[in-house]
Structure 1
Amino acid sequence: MDQAFSVAVLVGSLRKGSFNLKLAKALVALAPDNLACEFVQIGDLPLYDPDLEGDAVPSSWTRFRESIAKTSAVLFVTPEYNRSIPGGLKNALDVGSRPMGKSVWDGKPAAVATGSPGGIGGFGANHILRQSLVFLNVPAMQQPEAYIGGIADLFDADGNIAKPDTKTFLSKFMTAFGAWVALHAKQ
């Protein structure tokens, strides 16, 4: 097998017991062999403020930018907050896109999975995130779409996916993402 593509996994929820963190871990476990996934933390990033660019750039910004820059692709897994994405995830997009002209996102293929206890599975967050990705020149996988409703009942006590149909779907999603990355990643 050829060398695997490195994939940054960003989880929009900062909560320790996050359902979306469980979903992200399940997706990583289902990743095809051509994807090497690594979680990149966003919870320690100070709010983006251009006044902090220069000599005193926060070390967490530098760590984050370097982590994303060295990857081939990005997997976003997020809940929906108020029909949008959580503030921490939006901040991570902003930190990675600056300073102007030095975006670490440029050209990296991505996939978006959203999960919610409600029935629409984070549809709003999924599409709001995609709007930002268009501007950031991140080709986001279009199909299959992953809006995971009823996420609170998706996992067993050990954090494994309890619903076989959902596990099958998520496996297909990750297989499609592996093909998407192979097609679009910069070598």
Structure 2
Amino acid sequence: MTRLIALSGSLRQASFNTALLRAATGLAPQGVDIELRTLHGIPLYDGDVEAQGVPAAVSRLRAEIQAADGLIIGTPEYNNSIPGVLKNGLDWLSRPPAEGRKTFFGKPVAVLGATPGGFGTVQSQDAILSVLRAFGCSCWFGGRLMVSKANTLFDAQGELLDETLKQQLRDFLSGFAAQLGRP
């Protein structure tokens, strides 16, 4: 069984990125288990706080990512870049440096994103690549999923309604799993 962590870069309860990743958990290929995680409970990064010990929410999420076969990050696009909460979470997960290296170096990572805007999350996805490159991740470039007009593709409960997007998500997940040498 291939185990993936799907990390939403949004805290909003009705987040399209969280909804997209939730849909991914049900559309994963056979033999692939996707567990959805958020950044709730992770404080703003502060070196003084780190000196007192890494917060429990960070340690738990880091351990889950380290144990997973790969990571899927769902990023919104805020002001043509990644949201601060996602960057903050990644900063915490990379600290201290030895733990960050164990968490990210060589870790297979795929990025997708959804926005109500018309351009998908192209700039956010491009921006996050420099962070992932600094971590030494093994980024998968075999597929990019940039969902625009997300507010028209989900119902009020966050259920993915669009059949075309469901198939695109299935194909994305199958491609990433194949890259991992899985089904």
Give your verdict on TM over 0.5: yes
Is 1:73 the equivalent of 2:70? yes
Q: 1:111: Cα distance to partner?
A: 0.9
Partner SS for 1:129: helix
* Structure with greater proportional helix content: 2
1:128-161 per-residue CA deviation (whole Å, 9 max, x = no partner) reads 1111111111112112211101100012355433
More deviation in 23-32 or 53-62?
53-62
Q: What is residue 137 of structure 1 aligned with on the other side?
A: 136
- Name the residue aligned to 2:16: 19
- The normalised TM-score by structure 1 is 0.88
CA distance in 2, matches of 1:59, 1:158: 30
* Aligned residue among 77, 80, 83 for 1:83: 80
Which residue does 1:119 correspond to in 2? 118
* Counterpart contact for 1:6–1:72, Cα < 8 Å: yes
| Aligned residues of 1:45 and 1:92 also touching (Cα < 8 A) | yes
| 8 A Cα contact 1:77 1:114, kept in partner | yes
Task: Check whether the contact 2:14–2:158 (CA below 8 A) recurs between aligned residues.
Answer: no
Task: Answer yes or no: is the 8 Å Cα contact 2:104–2:137 preserved in 1.
Answer: yes
Count of matched residue pairs: 180
**2:146 maps to what in 1?**
147
Give me the identity figure in percent. 34
CA distance in 1, matches of 2:37, 2:23: 16
Deviation digits for residues 67-98 of structure 1, max 9, x if unmatched? Answer: 22221210111210111111111111111111
Please tell me the residue identity of whatever aligns with 1:130. L
Structure 1 residue ranges (4+ consecutive) displaced by more than 4 angstroms after TM superposition: none
Pair 1:119–1:53, CA change in 2 (3 A): same
2:17 matches 1:40: no
1:54 CA drift (Å): 4.3
Structure 2 unaligned regions, length at least 5 = none
What amino acid is the match of 1:51? D
Partner of 1:177: 176
* AA partner of residue 131 (structure 1): S
Measured on the aligned residues, the alpha-carbon RMSD in Å equals 1.7
Q: Structure 1's 59 and 160: CA in aligned 2 closer, same or farther, altered over 3 A?
A: closer
Conserved 8 A contact 1:27-1:171: yes
Stretches of structure 1 lacking an aligned partner (at least 5 in a row):
none
Q: Show the counterpart of 2:58.
A: 61
Identify which range, 55-64 or 113-122, moves more after superposition. 55-64
Please report the TM-score for the alignment, with normalisation by the length of structure 2. Answer: 0.90
Letter in 1 for 2:105: D
